[in-house]
Amino acid sequence: MANRKLKSAVNIPLEKIRPFEGHPYKVIDNEEMNTLIESIQEQGILSPLIVRPLENTEDEYELISGHRRLRAAQKAGAKNVPVFIYAVSRDEAAIMLVDSNLHREHILPSEKAFAYKLKLEALKHQGKTSGQLVQKFSVELVGDEVGESYKTVQRYIRLTYLIPELLDLVDEGRIALTPAVELSYLTEEQQYSLLGTVEVEDRTPSLSQAVRFKKLSQAGQLTDELIDSIMQEEKANQREMFRIPMERLRKALPNLKPSQVEDFIISAIVFYQKHLDRKKDKGAR
């Protein structure tokens, strides 16, 4: 299907738009969504959505870009939305969908994982072939287009093999990417067993523990008892933990990288403690 865009946006009814099936980006009802709803109520949708005509339907469209705006428009009570219409295939639309969201400031690991997988499958379909060499070439192509290495793209795609609950822990920053990749090789049953232990012990596996889990699983030796035993081993970095939701940190410290947040918080605590000490000294005089 030829890639054709209308010269100007057109308004179509919300009821004519279908979300892109299996799209990887989360649409969350949070403060940012409330702000977007208020903006739409006051000014309308300033940036048109992008859709494609659905095959074998009359006047129905599949959404390519703008899932958050669509949700906000629905909650704002809008009846129609402005759209650009692209006459493209589903594979072309999948690639457009992934690429249109890569500029976002905050992308969750799970969103990257399913986005890279979606783009990989679309590229493989376009190639009309299969096999290990094509798989490697396609992963390299995804990496080149999203600015990631071949290995990094592979690691993110491995996250799609995690059960949703463990993947949520990755999004929350409780499980880092590298150990999460190792855990993705566990069976679904083993992952749920691990999840139960994580919830009971209130601790997550380290990289060394995750590597052991993978090796034991591949050898057919990983049992519920072994999972409990390994997870109960004390880890220095988890003897005491204080957690703050990443969403609150991003809102309070929007200009800091995740790696800088811990140092900033510690410095702020030390500074505030010195302030309290000075006030105490003045009060004692």
Last residue of a domain, one of 89, 115, 144: 89
Residues 210 and 150 in one domain: no
Predicted local confidence at residue 53, as pLDDT: 92
Tell me if 213 sits within 8 A of 194, measured CB to CB: yes
Evaluate if residue 249 carries a pLDDT over 90. no
What does the radius of gyration of the chain's CA atoms come to, in whole angstroms? 24
How confident is the model over 94-108, as pLDDT tens digits? 888 888 777 666 788
Residues 2 and 85 in one domain: yes
Residues 82 and 140 in one domain: no
Nearest CA-CA partner of 5 in 101, 84, 65, 75: 84
- State the pLDDT confidence band at 71, using cuts at 50, 70 and 90: very high
Residues 79 and 115 in one domain: no
Last residue of a domain, one of 113, 129, 161: 161
Residues 113 and 128 in one domain: yes
Inside any domain, residue 150: yes
Residues 73 and 48 in one domain: yes
Residues 252 and 280 in one domain: yes
Task: Residue 33: give its domain's CATH number.
Answer: 3.90.1530.10
Q: Which residue has the higher pLDDT, 66 or 147?
A: 66
Average model confidence (pLDDT) across the chain: 82
Mean pLDDT in residue range 237-252: 62
Inside any domain, residue 35: yes
Q: In what order do the strands lie in the sheet with 10-13?
A: 10-13, 80-85, 49-53, 61-65, 17-18
- State the pLDDT confidence band at 268, using cuts at 50, 70 and 90: confident
Q: Which residue has the higher pLDDT, 208 or 31?
A: 208
- State the pLDDT confidence band at 22, using cuts at 50, 70 and 90: confident
Residues 19 and 64 in one domain: yes
Inside any domain, residue 122: yes
Token digits of residue 75: 């909650």
Inside any domain, residue 263: yes
Evaluate if residue 66 carries a pLDDT over 50. yes
Tell me if 51 sits within 8 A of 64, measured CB to CB: yes
In the chain, which residue ranges form alpha helices assigned H by DSSP? Answer: 31-43, 67-76, 90-101, 109-127, 132-146, 150-158, 164-171, 177-183, 188-201, 207-218, 224-231, 246-252, 258-284
Predicted local confidence at residue 63, as pLDDT: 92
Token digits of residue 141: 């192509």
Last residue of a domain, one of 113, 139, 161: 161
Q: If you write DSSP's letter for every residue of 45-60 in order, what string do you get?
A: -SS-EEEEEPTTSSS-
What is the total count of domains within the chain? Answer: 4
Q: Which residue has the higher pLDDT, 181 or 123?
A: 181
Cα distances from 109 to residues 171, 180, 248, in angstroms, run 6, 10, 17
Residues 1 and 84 in one domain: yes
Evaluate if residue 109 carries a pLDDT over 50. yes
Inside any domain, residue 96: no
Residues 186 and 152 in one domain: no
Token digits of residue 168: 């949520």
Domain span including residue 115: 102-161
Inside any domain, residue 190: yes
Whole-model pTM: value is 0.68
Predicted local confidence at residue 188, as pLDDT: 96
* Main-chain dihedrals φ then ψ at residue 91, nearest 5 degrees: -65, -40
Evaluate if residue 134 carries a pLDDT over 50. no
- State the pLDDT confidence band at 115, using cuts at 50, 70 and 90: confident
- 47-51, 165-169, 197-201, 280-284: least confident range: 280-284
Q: Which residue has the higher pLDDT, 153 or 170?
A: 170
Residues 205 and 150 in one domain: no
Inside any domain, residue 95: no
How confident is the model over 177-199, as pLDDT tens digits? 999 999 999 999 999 999 999 99
Evaluate if residue 46 carries a pLDDT over 70. yes
Residues 171 and 221 in one domain: yes
Inside any domain, residue 174: yes
